Amino acid sequence: MIISSKIRVAIYVIWFLFIPASLVGTFHVFPPLSSGNTWDIPAFLVLISVLALMPIMINNIPITVVQGVSLAVFLVYGLAIEIVVTQVAFMFIIIRLRLAKKDWYRFPLNSITSFIFCLLSGLVYYGVGGNHDFTSGIDAIDILFILIYQCSYFLFNQVVVIVAHWLIYGKKIEMKTKDAFWDGFTSLMIMPIGIILFVLYIEMGSLAILLVGAALVSLAFIMKQYYFTKEINRHLKKVSEFGHQLTQRLQVNEVLDLFIDGSSAIIPSKYTLVFEIFDEKENAQILRYAENGTQIEKRIKPVSIKEGIYATLFQLKKAKVFHSQKDWKYLSNYGNFPEDVESIMAIPIFRNSVLVGEIIVTSSKKRAYGSHQTKIMDILSSYLWVALENARHYQETKYSSERCALTHLYNFRYFECVLHKEFERLQNQSLNHLSLILLDIDHFKSVNDTYGHQSGNEILCELAERLDGIVGHSGTTARYGGEEFVILLPNVGKEEVYKFAEFIRLSISNKPFTVHSDLNESRRKESISITASIGVATAPVDAEDAQSIIRHADRAMYTGAKQAGRNKVAVYGG
The CA distance from 416 to 422, in Å, is 10
556, 572 contact by CB (below 8 A): yes
DSSP-assigned letter for residue 334: S
pLDDT at 337: 72
- Can you name the residues that pair with 343 across neighbouring β-strands? 363
pLDDT at residue 176 is higher than 70: no
Most confident range, picked from 139-148, 312-321, 518-527 = 139-148
Lowest model confidence (mean pLDDT) among 171-180, 347-356, 534-543: 171-180
Mean pLDDT of the chain: 86
Give the confidence band of 551 by pLDDT, cuts at 50, 70, 90.
very high
Strand pairing category for 476-481 and 513-516: unpaired
Q: Is the pLDDT of residue 499 over 90?
A: yes
Whether 15 is covered by a domain: the verdict is: yes
| Residues 387, 423 within the same domain | no
pLDDT in tens, 286-301: 888 888 888 887 666 7
CATH number of the domain encompassing residue 281: 3.30.450.40
Domain encompassing residue 337: 252-394
Does 19 map to a domain?
A: yes
Nearest to 497 by CA among 536, 463, 533, 534: 536
Same domain flag for 437 and 525: yes
Closest CA to 444 of 526, 551, 562: 562
Q: What are phi and psi of 437, to 5 degrees?
A: -115, 125
Whether residues 460 and 498 share a domain: the answer is yes
Mean pLDDT of 102-128: 90
Name the pLDDT band for 85 (thresholds 50, 70, 90): very high
- The pLDDT value recorded for residue 2 is 66
Where do the H-state alpha helices sit in 274-370? 308-316, 325-328
259 and 390 belong to one structural domain: yes
* DSSP assignment letter at 31: P
* Residue 407 lies inside a defined structural domain of this protein: no
Span 61-84, mean pLDDT? Answer: 86
* pLDDT (0 to 100) of residue 467: 96
So what's the pLDDT on residue 180? 64
Q: Answer yes or no: do 562 and 428 share one domain.
A: yes
Residue positions counted in the chain: 574
Pair 288, 256: CB distance under 8 Å: yes
- In the chain, % of residues over pLDDT 70: 92
Residue 402 falls inside a structural domain? no
In terms of domains, do 45 and 177 share one? yes
Same domain, 363 and 443: no
Domain boundary among 339, 367, 394: 394
Please report which confidence band the pLDDT of residue 522 belongs to, taking 50, 70 and 90 as the band edges: low
Peptide bond into 268 cis (omega under 30): no
Nearest partner of 101 among 292, 324, 361, judged by Cα:
324
> Which of the two residues, 169 and 75, has the higher pLDDT score?
75
Average of pLDDT values for 436-455? 91
Is the pLDDT score of 175 beyond 60? no
Q: Can you give the pLDDT at residue 275?
A: 86
The reply to whether 61 falls in a domain is: yes
Q: What is the pLDDT of residue 74?
A: 93
- Return the pLDDT at 119: 94
Looking up residue 429, the CATH number of its domain turns out to be 3.30.70.270
In a domain, 242, yes or no: no
**Residues 74 and 136 both lie in one domain:** yes
Instruction: Answer for the pair 312, 330: CB distance below 8 angstroms, yes or no.
Output: no
Regarding pTM above 0.85, the answer is: no
Same domain, 469 and 550: yes
Region 149-164: what's the mean pLDDT?
86
Mean predicted confidence (pLDDT) in 202-219: 87
Given pLDDT bands bounded at 50, 70 and 90, which one contains residue 441? very high
Query: Does the residue 243 lie in any domain?
Result: no
**What is residue 391's predicted lDDT score, i.e. its pLDDT?**
92
Instruction: Give the per-residue pLDDT at 561.
Output: 93
Residue type, 327: D
pLDDT grade for 410, boundaries at 50, 70 and 90: very high
* Burial bucket for residue 303 (CB in 10 Å: 0-12, 13-18, 19+): buried
Count of CB atoms within 10 A of residue 29's CB?
9
Residues 390 and 419 in one domain: no
What is the model's pLDDT at position 80?
A: 93
Least confident of 125-134, 201-210, 272-281, 563-572: 272-281
Q: What is the pLDDT of residue 330?
A: 74
Q: What is the mean pLDDT of residues 487-512?
A: 95
Pick the residue with more confidence: 233 or 559?
Answer: 559
Residues 500-517, mean pLDDT to the nearest whole number: 93
| Bridge partner list, 61 | 58
10 and 70 part of one domain: yes
Sign, CA dihedral 30-34-36-38, equals positive
Rounded-to-5 percentages of helix, strand, coil across the chain: 60, 15, 25
Number of domains in the chain: 3
Residues 436 and 540 in one domain: yes
Mean pLDDT in residue range 543-547? 91
Q: pLDDT digits over 446-463, tens only?
A: 988 888 889 999 999 999
Position 181 pLDDT exceeds 70: no
Residue 247 domain-assigned (yes or no)? no
- Domain boundary among the residues 173, 196, 231 is at 231
User: What confidence category does residue 56 fall into, taking pLDDT thresholds of 50, 70 and 90?
Assistant: low
Single out the residue in 394, 425, 443 at which a domain terminates.
394
In this prediction, residue 507 has a pLDDT band, given cuts at 50, 70 and 90, of: very high
